[in-house]
Every structure is written in structure tokens, then in C-alpha cells.
Amino acid sequence: MTELSDRFALPLLSAGQAQKELYHNESLALLDLLAHTAVVDHGIDTPPSMPSPGQCWIVGSAPTGAWAGHDGALAGWTGGGWRFIAARAGMTAWDIANGYWLHHDGSDWVEGVLPASSLNVGGVQVVGGQIGAIANPAGGSFIDAEARAAVTLILNALRTHGLIAT
């Protein structure tokens, strides 16, 4: 039996193995699907009838046909037919059809949400983690209704974007 790599079950070569090129080529075919993965679509249960070599999909939860038994996996079409790679926590893929990133959280593919602790642009943090709630302005000895309304709008925008708690 062929030994497999720990994370993605790529076939490994062993000493004295016959036809090493078959195992090496299979590993390269799988690695080609994994490197900078872009999928045609995700959550699809039926294999496309006319895929092109190099195209990938993320299999849905009730796959049929050639995809049966590979739910949640990355399915890639190659010159040798379908190749499947089981999803692992931390995998990412660009969803071409929807224009956003997918990432696997260890149990499922998450659409369009990339976890992060901050967003840096040009080496400067522009967005960080959510801070605590800030109350709308109230009270005071001098009440400026227009300023109060403007501050309330700003606070509501920050809440809507999740930058401060509600």
C-alpha cells in the first residue's frame, strides 16, 4: 500500500517502489488543484457534464454520480478524470461565480467571511477588533440637536459595520 502525506493524502514515494512516476504525477495533479485554488462554484451536488481540465468545484452535501461520497471535498477535473481532496480546516478557495473567498473552518465551508484580528493597509492598521458599546449622546447643559443627530448617525454606522458593540 502506498504511504500518503498527513494533510492532503498525497501519494508518497518509497524506496524500491515500481512505477514511481505514477505516484509522483498523481501528487503533482492533486497539488496543482490545491495551489491557489479557484472554484467554478461551491455547494454543487451534480458533476458538470463538460468540465475543462483544471476546473474545480466544492462538492455539496448530497453529491450524486461521480461525486457520490465526496461531500464537502474539492473536486477537480484532470486529463485522468476526477480528483478529490478532502477539505481541511484552514483551506481557502476563491469562488469565481460569486466573487468572494471561501474558507473551511474545520466542519464546513464558510462563504465570504475571512476571520482576522485586524486589517492593515500600507502597514497601518485601519480596522481592528470590535470595541465595547458607546451610548448615544444624551443630557448636558447645552443641547445641539444637529450635532447630537450627526454623532448618533456615526455611532449607528459603526455599529452596523460591527466596529462597536450595540
Instruction: Specify the long-range contacts of residues 90-94, CB closer than 8 Å, at least 24 apart.
Output: 91/37, 92/37, 93/37, 93/38, 93/39, 93/42, 93/56, 93/58, 94/36, 94/37, 94/38, 94/39
d(CA 166, CA 148): 18
- Domain assignment present for residue 134? The answer is yes
Choose one of 71, 87, 111: the last residue of a domain. 111
State whether 82 and 147 are in the same domain: no
Amino acid at 155: L
User: Which amino acid appears at position 19 of this protein?
Assistant: Q
What pLDDT does 1 receive?
Answer: 54
Structural domain count of the chain: 2
Q: Note whether residue 27 is domain-resident.
A: no
Check whether residue 84 and residue 107 sit in a common domain. yes
In a domain, 28, yes or no: no
Q: Same domain, yes or no, for 129 and 63?
A: no
Q: What is the largest CA-CA distance in the chain?
A: 88
Determine, yes or no, domain membership for 31.
Answer: no
Whether 86 is in a domain gets the answer yes
Q: How do the pLDDT tens digits run along the chain, 166 residues long?
A: 578 777 777 777 777 777 877 777 777 777 877 888 999 999 999 999 999 999 999 999 999 999 999 999 999 998 889 999 999 999 999 999 999 999 999 999 999 988 888 888 888 888 888 888 889 988 888 889 999 999 999 999 988 888 888 8
For residues 44 and 71, state if they share a domain: yes
The answer to whether position 67 is within a domain reads yes
Domain range holding 88? 36-111
Question: Is residue 40 located within the same domain as residue 81?
Answer: yes
Q: Looking at the domain assignment, is residue 23 inside a domain?
A: no
Give, in degrees to the nearest 5, the angle at Cα 92 between 48 and 77: 25
Residues 76 and 139 placed together within one structural domain of the fold: no
Task: Please state, in angstroms and rounded to a whole number, the distance separating the CA atoms of residues 34 and 39.
Answer: 10
pTM assigned to the model: 0.71
In a domain, 76, yes or no: yes
* Residues 97, 43 contacting (CB under 8 angstroms): no
Answer yes or no: do 59 and 89 share one domain.
Answer: yes
Pair 104, 70 in one domain:
yes
- Asked if 68 and 91 sit in the same domain, the reply is yes
**pLDDT number for residue 12:** 73
Same domain, yes or no, for 103 and 41?
Answer: yes
